[in-house]
Amino acid sequence: MGAIAFVLLAGCNNSPHPHGAERENTLYMAFAERSPRYLDPTSSYAAPESTYVYEISEPPYGYHPLKRPYTLIPRTAADLAKPYYLDAKGKRLPDDAPDEQIAEAVYDIAIKPGLKWSPHPAFAKDAQGNYRYHQLKPGELGDKRSPFAFEHLATREVVAEDFVYALKRHASPRLEAPVAAVFSEHVIGLKDYIATLKRESEKQLAGLPENLADKPFLDLRRWPLAGAEAVNDHLLRIRLKGRYPQWQYWLATNFTAAIPWEVDAFYAQPGMAANSMSWNQWPVGSGAFMMTEYVQDRRHVMSRNPNYRHETYPCDGSPGDAEAGLLADCGKPMPFVDKVVAISVKEAVPRKELFKQGYLDLPEMDRSDWGVNLAVDRDDSDEVKRFFQERGFQLPMNVDITNWYLGFNWLDPVVGRGDTPEQQRRNRALRQAISIAIDWEEGYGRIFRDKGGDAAHGPIPPGVFGSREGEPGEFNPVTHRLVDGKVQRRTIEDALQLMNEAGYPGGRDAKTGKPLVLNYDFQRVVTPELKAENDWLIRQFAKLGIQLDIRATDFNQFQEKILKGKHQIFWWGWFADYPDAENFLFLLYGPNSKSLHEGENTANYANPEFDRLYRKLQSLEDGPEKAAVMATMNDIARQDAPWAWGYWSYSGLAFQRWLHNGKPGVVVRDRARYLRVDVQERARSIAAWNQPVWWPLLVLAAGGLAIAVATRRAWARRETATAVATGEGA
């Protein structure tokens, strides 16, 4: 019995990893709910997906991991390209030429020589130079469910044509391309290319089943795109319509990352979809890591790309970075870790506990609220503060360019735009009433401090050029007013008056007398920690007599719902792709509608004047004119209220003391390659923090021994009694 107890004790711990994993040069983190939906760089546009996409795929540019304000740096490009301008006849213009003279902006981007794709069977060739795995017939794939199940893997150099191919993919009718509408307004010829690919795809699929999972390869190399050209293997030329300064920022997003045509051809073969072999499970890139293990909704592993170029940790940063130890690895080769392991932990409380025990080096890579959450815990009591200090948890925090808001679907007949002028007036009054009633200052300023922030008054966050958020006297007149020099939320009486104007006095339809019931489409499964937030929101609507019905799904199902325009009121957040107002205002740009054009305007908001000003904004450099246009757009959006503006969240990360080089920054998405783990310190700490508790098993062993002794005695008495009885009867 004692031996059994010892065996039980030896295997008794709370680690989600194999025995000895803490001694490996691996970074451990968690992800919530389900696996990312898109890992294809053309389609991916959600924060949880960026954890993998930006480590594997590489756009021309990136962001310096330490410098603030955010600073662009070359990634696959040899340097940052300065555009030059041409008139309608192709004549080169001076850099300060007026917009009306500029017909084209041309970016000549030098691509670093010697970049290599991570190993993949799509590149493998036989002795004759033919691709080994591009002509698989039905059944030949067998039970292979990973690219690494193939005998032959190969690579090739990344060339300029791979970036051309990537831009072409935004026109493919077979992919969800969320920025296709934006890109088509700027890249010369892309609108026509979209029409061309739609026509060619329909011809290719004619006569085939509509639900065919593995559609034949649509070879985009067959049709040129006027605005993208590979001048040679290491020079990419992109031509844009007119001046568009923000294009430099798009060159740092996954949407412009190189794509090899061979992988598209490989994944288009029979049986691939059924075996979960696609870009969305097994992306291919030239980045520091590659996906080597993919267990749906359970575990993802990125391993060091053996073909990754020599790259070193930066030696410069922002003031204070050296003192914080963020330059200690100056000049050392990256990445520092061999693997990044992400495990599914569905609820926040278990993720937090695993972090406190040391089994997670950081709770999640993509979320910027963990530092805020744990800082609230730390400040809850002196005892907890001592605990955090003893364990050396690092909780760096700053104000970043992110926002959270409640949105109204513009296509919905009740909370949307409305079909007639009268309905438009009523619906606007309803949205404005709701915007007043939701007390963000209370909810995310005083109650939910672990997700806290400052109440927003519009769509443009502080810290971005032209934003007036937080400036003295600046506020949203729809939801707030100035009282004795202080900005205060309007009273609920003001909101109730708007409810009357909307035709819902006291929360009931004035014509039918029926209560107003609205649907809240929430993007997460409602776990206990999220229920309190939803209950709070229900109470905000109840102030107006509105019944709020929670329709919660996981994030993937939520994405499906909004693509079909079936949502009504929804919760959404945005982590900036780049530090410019355009990246927030395009969330309200009509042609960027999520449900109509698969863009990122999830509210499907459309206002002709707002859209006109947005197009003007795109050609403006930072300056007084741009700031004035932004202010006008801000006022239009405030009056229309397509969002209840929510709050600007505090940004904070959480790291173990043995994890080095972590610094918050929402646009720095390729963070893993900079992070270094002190494996020895982690192993020592985990052993010290999770020492086995012996006494319960010792009590169990003692109890088991007592039971065994009692059983033995009872058996002996029974044997003795049986022997005596036998003797008497003889």
CB neighbour burial string for 498-534, b if at least 16 within 10 angstroms, e if fewer: bbeebbbeebbeeeeeeebebbbbbbbbeeeeeeebb
* Residue appearing with tokens 């059924």: 274
Position 7 scores a pLDDT of 41
Within 10 angstroms of residue 97's Cβ, the number of other Cβ atoms is 14
Position 103 scores a pLDDT of 97
CA dihedral sign of residues 524, 526, 532, 538: positive
Position 2 scores a pLDDT of 44
Tell me: pLDDT of 70 over 60: yes
Radius of gyration of the chain (CA): 30
Position 652 scores a pLDDT of 86
Position 700 scores a pLDDT of 67
426-451: pLDDT as tens digits: 999 999 999 999 999 998 878 887 77
563-588: pLDDT as tens digits: 999 999 999 988 888 888 998 999 99
Tell me: pLDDT of 207 over 50: yes
Write out the two tokens for 14: 């709370």
Using CA atoms of 269, 272, 277, 279 in order, give the dihedral in degrees to the nearest 10.
40
What residue type is 566 in one-letter code? Answer: K
CB 620 within 8 A of CB 627: no
Position 138 scores a pLDDT of 84
Within 10 angstroms of residue 457's Cβ, the number of other Cβ atoms is 21
CB 453 within 8 A of CB 647: yes
Assign 11 a pLDDT band (cuts: 50, 70, 90).
very low
CB 362 within 8 A of CB 662: yes
Position 339 scores a pLDDT of 98
Nearest CA-CA partner of 267 in 172, 354, 344, 364:
172
Position 651 scores a pLDDT of 79
293-334: pLDDT as tens digits: 999 999 999 999 999 999 999 999 999 999 999 999 999 999
456-466: pLDDT as tens digits: 999 998 878 88
CA gap 131, 127 in Å, rounded = 10
Nearest CA-CA partner of 530 in 381, 369, 679:
369
Bridge partners, 647 (sequence order) = 404, 455
Averaged pLDDT score across all residues of the chain: 91
Nearest CA-CA partner of 110 in 12, 7, 237:
237
Position 604 scores a pLDDT of 97
Assign 9 a pLDDT band (cuts: 50, 70, 90).
very low
The proportion of the chain whose per-residue pLDDT surpasses 90, expressed as a percent, equals 75
Using CA atoms of 658, 664, 669, 672 in order, give the dihedral in degrees to the nearest 10.
-10
Tell me: pLDDT of 730 over 50: no
Position 372 scores a pLDDT of 85
Q: Is the peptide bond before 69 cis (omega within 30 degrees of 0)?
A: yes
Count Cβ atoms within 10 A of the Cβ of residue 474 and give its class: 0-12 exposed, 13-18 middle, 19 or more buried: middle
**551 against 473, higher pLDDT:** 551
Assign 6 a pLDDT band (cuts: 50, 70, 90).
very low
Position 5 scores a pLDDT of 44
Would you give the end-to-end CA distance of the chain in angstroms? 41
Helix, strand, coil: what percent of the chain each, to 5?
Answer: 35, 20, 45
Q: How far is CA 646 from CA 47, 412, 573, 587, in A?
A: 19, 20, 9, 15
Chain Cα centroid distance, residue 331: 30
CA gap 308, 304 in Å, rounded = 8
Angle between helices 528-542 and 421-437 (to 10 degrees): 120
677-725: pLDDT as tens digits: 999 999 999 999 998 765 666 666 666 677 767 777 766 676 666 554 4
Write out the two tokens for 584: 């927030």
Position 403 scores a pLDDT of 84
What residue type is 675 in one-letter code? Answer: L
Checking DSSP bridges between strand 517-522 and strand 547-552, what pairing results, if any? parallel
The predicted model gives 454-477 an average pLDDT of: 89
Prediction pTM value: 0.79
CA gap 304, 336 in Å, rounded = 9
106-145: pLDDT as tens digits: 999 999 999 999 999 999 999 999 999 999 988 899 999 9
Position 723 scores a pLDDT of 52
